[in-house]
Structure 1
Amino acid sequence: MTGPVRNAVAALIGLVLVALWLRVGPALVGAWAGGGAWGESAFTVALFGPMLLLGWAGRRLAGIRGPSGLAWRSLGLGAVTGLGCLLLATGYTGLAGTLIRSQGSMVGPLLALGLSVITVQVAAEEWVFRGWLQPVLLSLIGRRVAVPVVAGIFAGLHLLAGSASGGVALLNLFLGGMLFGLIAAGRLGLAGAFGAHFAWNAGEQLLLGLDPNPGVGVFGAVVDLDLRGVPLWGGSDQGLNGSWAMSLSLLALVVGWLLAGRMAMRQSDAA
């Protein structure tokens, strides 16, 4: 068995373990985690901590190395991309007439705890999907196939875990996986993908208060924006994540990233 095939088999086994854990883990962890901000923190760390360790171990076994430098620059550029995408999607909801401002904002020390919790969740997902599974598949089937395949798996496992429902939400998860995958496969690497994913989640939950919808989460939010009205433009319990606004925003960035990648390849070929 060659190295790439062996790595693919190991990644497949890891993927099965992740799927099983996401299926049974929430009920097991939720039975003792409790409520409130600290209960939510314990739940997230207990659920995603094993995934983070699995992704780290998988990368080491596969011999995948991180970038030699400029990780902070990549992280920052990725964060700008993710936050810009979120603000674009929010702007679309404003144009659609579903965006309103409520009075439920809560600014306090729990925001810092929320940032830490989001860091663990995003790091686990990125380490497994874009940090381990995608590089393994890239070595076997190439970027054009590997990135959408991993994006599809990313969306499917969210559906399996019960964190998304409906066709639009599933489409948005796929497009988000495409964006993070393209970033990770490009010059910004895994740090850029993490930055984009983190900025979107943190911005949606803790900055704009769009998740959950309506209201704000247990960690609070700087601003409490809600989406009401047409469900396909965010006026449902899935909020922005189940809206065409998010689809259009993500699609715009995915297309832009694809075009930028092609231009970079042409320039390198010309050189």
Structure 2
Amino acid sequence: MVTGRHRWWRPVAGTALVLGGAVAAALLVLLGAEIAGAALGKPVDKDGLRVWGGIGQMAQGLLSLALLLPVVFLAARWVQRRPGGTVSSVVGRLRWDWLVRCLLLALPLVAASLGVMLLLPGASGDGTDDMVWAGLPDFLLGLAMVCVLVPFQAAAEEYVFRGWLTQAVGAWCRSPWVAILPQAPLFAAAHGWGTPWGFLDLVVFALVTGVLTLRTGGLEAAIGLHVISNLLAMGLSAAIAGALASDETAADMDAVSVCVDVVMICGYAALVLWWAGRRKVEAVGTGRTADDGDDR
């Protein structure tokens, strides 16, 4: 969003604040885990860090990402001098009713695609040791952790990439469509380097959700797909012994799984755009905010 207070340096300074905030959040979570681990007598690994197990390690990673939400809002308010809610949508806030509809729309599509992937040959390795039940206590603990943290983690990633970065680049571009391009490879790279197919899948996800953000005027559609995808995938991992401790991400997907996922992503996008048109979801703001009558 470009406001009457826009200056060329504000997107740069704000992006630096977001990056610095990401590092600070990771260090803060690590420090908290070390202090709590020492108090609870957790063992120490070869690097001198407290060992929390797969569920604990995953929780630390998700929490580090979730803490980027307030960082983005502060960058908008402090650096760009605009309400933090303008990162959410053109109406200056998250449209909760539209978000709920997007979540409900994503649920059966993501569940179906995940089911297809599980049925693909080789999905469970050799079929002997890869899919071992985690046990009820570990499953419930892991599932609770996933349900509490994943919505914030997935939303934070959307606020950073489809929200902040897209708007920061868009502040310098005449066409808003150009703004969605840089965030896509950055989003894919942030998930690590796995297979070329996995990288492509993440780029497609970022581009499609970027288009949805522009066409629907907000992050709700992107958040809906991201939250449901991560909830179902990590919820399934919670049921498998050791799966939450794995370093694998979507970046490690194989070619066939990527084909299934891309079909689901494009199908979701088509349905969202159709539904947004039927409901006349506002895609262009009025150009005014509570504290700047010159916003546009």
Q: TM-score, normalised by structure 1?
A: 0.67
SS at structure 2 position matched to 1:123: helix
Tell me the distance in 1 between the aligned counterparts of 2:170 and 2:25. 25
Please state which structure has a larger fraction of its residues in helix.
1
Cross-structure match for 1:58: 75
Q: Of 17, 23, 41, which residue of structure 1 is paired with 2:59?
A: 41
**1:68-126 deviation digits (Å, cap 9, x = unpaired):** 474233243145336514532541552x4233584515442542222112123223212
Identity %: 17
Q: Which moved more, 1:80-89 or 1:150-159?
A: 80-89
Distance 1:145 1:260 in 2: 21
Q: Spell out the pairing of 1:225-264 with structure 2 (5 A cutoff).
A: 241-253=252-264, 255=266, 257=269
Partner AA of 1:197 in structure 2: H
1:8 and 2:11 are equivalent in the alignment: yes
1:128 aligns with 2:160: yes
Aligned length: 241
Structure 2 contact 68–160 (Cα < 8 Å) conserved: yes
Unaligned runs of 5+ in 1: 219-235
1:88 aligns with 2:113: yes
Distance change (3 Å), C-alpha of 1:71 and 1:242: same
Cα deviations across residues 116-162 of structure 1 (Å, max 9, x unaligned)?
12123223212212221112223432332221211111112233xxx
CA contact (8 A) 1:151 1:178 kept: yes
Counterpart of 1:144, as a letter, is W
Question: Distance between the aligned counterparts of 2:243 and 2:68, measured in 1?
Answer: 27
User: Structure 1 residue 186 and structure 2 residue 215: aligned?
Assistant: yes
Structure-2 change in CA distance of 1:42 and 1:92 (3 Å)? closer
Cα offset, 1:12, TM superposition: 3.6
Shift in Å, 1:177: 1.6
The answer to whether the 8 A contact 1:48-1:124 is kept is yes
Q: Does 1:74 align with 2:99?
A: yes
CA apart distance, 1:241: 4.4
Give deviations 1:173-212, integer Å, cap 9, x for gaps: 2122223322322327213222211110110110x33998
Give matches, 1:10-25, under 5 Å: 10-14=13-17, 16-17=19-20
Can you give the 5+ residue segments of structure 2 that lack an aligned partner in the other structure?
Answer: 35-47, 281-296
2:176 aligns with: 143
How is 1:92-131 mapped onto 2 (pairs within 5 angstroms)?
A: 92=117, 94=119, 96-100=120-124, 102-104=131-133, 106=136, 107-131=139-163
Is this contact kept in 1: 2:158–2:219, CA < 8 A? yes
1:173–1:52 distance in 2 versus 1, CA, 3 Å: same
One-letter amino acid of the structure 2 residue matched with residue 41 of structure 1: A
Residues 33, 83 of structure 1: alpha-carbon distance in 2 compared, 3 angstrom cutoff: farther
Query: Please, what TM-score do these two structures have when normalized by structure 2?
Result: 0.63
* Structure of higher CA gyration radius: 2
For residue 145 of structure 1, what is the amino acid of its counterpart?
A: V
Q: Distance in 1 between matches of 2:167 and 2:249?
A: 31
Take 1:52 and 1:242, find their aligned partners in 2: how far apart are those partners?
A: 27
